[in-house]
């Protein structure tokens, strides 16, 4: 086919792409304006420091960090809600059990509250929000079986991360640590924190007994008290303060980028819909014919 035929066949698609790019450009400009607006709230010294490191690059990286944090918050909110939904029973004001979308909306509400507690813990300790969220996820099921509520799981997750960090336990091994501790199945091979538990009198037998009595939470938090007190003292250290500053800045950037983040998601969805739409009930998939024809005719 001729170049002219290709151009004519792709005309509608090209028009849509140009409009989408224009929208994306406007959204990005607004995001930069929001970033600049947020930056204006800093002191002149901080602004000058940003500019001295290459203004535009700093703002660009700030936008990227803000978008990344918002994406993490979005994903963990749904992930935590799914976990809560699978383990909890939800009731309405009349006391009747609710299921499906209504139950999941209640789980999302609990998830949002949990996220805020984890964010606060991230601002108070050397642990990051991501590390705390992972520990919470790994702790949630065995902790609920041991009688913990959501707030208790946050406190336990924070304490267990602090203890693991102080005793140089790899955080990617924390899942097994948590399960063995809360179930009373500690072994030297799977539980590096076993000496800490046993020093507080928490043998496997004792843990199982307290678990059955619904009294495990105060006992295990007492065992982890040294780590939490030590973490409070460590929060005065420069390295921890720098870590907290980084967390605070990342969270602030995420908050400042919320509007641009939502607009960007809308633009991406519009672009996807301009390529393909589908009906889940009928199983029908409808492609953008102009695009398909143009691609098929290209050499």
Question: What confidence tens digit (pLDDT) does each residue in 256-265 have?
Answer: 777 776 777 7
Q: What is the pLDDT at residue 59?
A: 56
Distance between CA atoms of residues 120 and 166, nearest Å: 20
Helix (H) or strand (E) holding 286: strand 284-287
Distance between CA atoms of residues 222 and 208, nearest Å: 16
Minimum mean pLDDT range among 10-14, 177-181, 206-210, 264-268: 10-14
165 within some domain:
yes
Helix (H) or strand (E) holding 279: strand 276-279
Question: Does residue 16 surpass a pLDDT of 80?
Answer: no
Question: Does residue 232 surpass a pLDDT of 70?
Answer: no
252 within some domain:
yes
User: Two tokens at 234?
Assistant: 């460590």
Which tens digits make up the pLDDT trace of 46-76? 455 445 445 555 556 666 777 677 777 777 8
Question: Does residue 203 surpass a pLDDT of 70?
Answer: yes
Q: How confident is the model at residue 28 (pLDDT cuts 50, 70, 90)?
A: very low
Task: Tell me the mean pLDDT in the region 3-27.
Answer: 46
Q: How confident is the model at residue 23 (pLDDT cuts 50, 70, 90)?
A: low
35 within some domain:
yes
Residue that the structure tokens 């924390």 belong to: 174
Residue that the structure tokens 């290459």 belong to: 54
Task: Tell me the mean pLDDT in the region 72-94.
Answer: 85
Identify the three-state secondary structure at position 91: strand
Q: Name every residue whose Cβ is closer than 8 Å to that of residue 185 and which is 6 or more positions away in sequence.
A: 179, 204
Q: Are 186 and 143 in contact (CB under 8 A)?
A: no
295 within some domain:
no
Q: Exposed, middle or buried by CB within 10 Å (0-12, 13-18, 19+), for 84?
A: buried
Tell me the C-alpha to C-alpha distance, in Å, between residue 242 and each of 124, 127, 132, 248. Answer: 11, 12, 18, 10
User: Two tokens at 153?
Assistant: 């799981």
Distance between CA atoms of residues 233 and 66, nearest Å: 30
Task: Tell me the mean pLDDT in the region 189-215.
Answer: 91
Q: What is the pLDDT at residue 45?
A: 46
28 within some domain:
yes
Q: How confident is the model at residue 185 (pLDDT cuts 50, 70, 90)?
A: very high
Most confidently modeled range among 117-131, 207-221, 223-237, 241-255: 207-221
Question: Does residue 233 surpass a pLDDT of 80?
Answer: no
Q: What is the pLDDT at residue 210?
A: 93
Q: Are 207 and 187 in contact (CB under 8 A)?
A: no
Identify the three-state secondary structure at position 99: coil
Torsion of CA 272, 277, 283, 289, to 10 degrees: -110
Which tens digits make up the pLDDT trace of 212-223? 888 999 999 999
217 within some domain:
no
Q: Are 261 and 28 in contact (CB under 8 A)?
A: no
Task: Tell me the mean pLDDT in the region 180-202.
Answer: 91
> Mean pLDDT for the chain?
76
User: Two tokens at 257?
Assistant: 């980028």
User: Two tokens at 94?
Assistant: 């009349």
Number of residues in the chain? 299
Which tens digits make up the pLDDT trace of 114-170? 888 888 888 877 778 888 888 888 889 889 988 898 899 999 998 888 888 777 788
2 within some domain:
no
Question: Does residue 280 surpass a pLDDT of 70?
Answer: yes
Q: What is the pLDDT at residue 230?
A: 67
Question: Does residue 8 surpass a pLDDT of 60?
Answer: no
Number of domains forming the structure of the chain: 1
Question: Does residue 84 surpass a pLDDT of 70?
Answer: yes
Domain of 247 in residue numbering reads as 9-171+225-268
Tell me the C-alpha to C-alpha distance, in Å, between residue 197 and each of 5, 130, 136, 226. Answer: 75, 25, 19, 11
Q: What is the pLDDT at residue 207?
A: 95
275 within some domain:
no
Q: How confident is the model at residue 80 (pLDDT cuts 50, 70, 90)?
A: confident
């Amino acid at each position: 086919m001729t170049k002219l035929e290709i151009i004519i066949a792709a005309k509608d698609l090209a028009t849509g792409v140009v409009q989408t790019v224009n929208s994306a450009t406007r959204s990005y400009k607004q995001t930069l304006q929001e970033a600049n607006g947020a930056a204006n709230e800093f002191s002149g010294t901080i602004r000058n420091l940003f500019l001295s490191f290459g203004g535009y690059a700093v703002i660009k990286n700030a936008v990227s960090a803000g978008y990344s944090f918002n994406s993490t918050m979005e994903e963990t909110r749904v992930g935590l809600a799914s976990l809560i939904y699978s383990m909890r029973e939800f009731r309405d004001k009349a006391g009747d059990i609710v299921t499906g979308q209504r139950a999941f909306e209640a789980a999302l509400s609990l998830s949002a509250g949990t996220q805020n507690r984890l964010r606060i813990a991230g601002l108070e300790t050397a642990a990051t929000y991501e590390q705390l969220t992972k520990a919470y996820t790994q702790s949630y099921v065995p902790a609920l079986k041991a009688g913990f509520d959501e707030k208790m799981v946050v406190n336990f997750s924070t304490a267990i991360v602090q203890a693991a960090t102080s005793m140089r336990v790899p955080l990617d091994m924390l899942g097994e640590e948590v399960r063995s501790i809360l179930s009373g199945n500690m072994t030297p091979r799977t539980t590096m924190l076993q000496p800490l538990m046993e020093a507080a009198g928490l043998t496997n037998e004792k843990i199982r007994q307290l678990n059955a009595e619904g009294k495990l939470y105060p006992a295990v938090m007492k065992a982890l008290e040294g780590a939490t007190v030590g973490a409070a003292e460590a929060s005065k250290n420069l390295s921890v303060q720098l870590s907290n500053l980084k967390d605070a800045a990342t969270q602030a950037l995420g908050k400042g980028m919320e509007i641009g983040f939502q607009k960007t998601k809308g633009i991406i969805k519009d672009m996807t819909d301009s390529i393909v739409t589908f009906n889940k009930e009928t199983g029908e998939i409808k492609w953008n014919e102009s695009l398909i024809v143009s691609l098929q005719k290209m050499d």
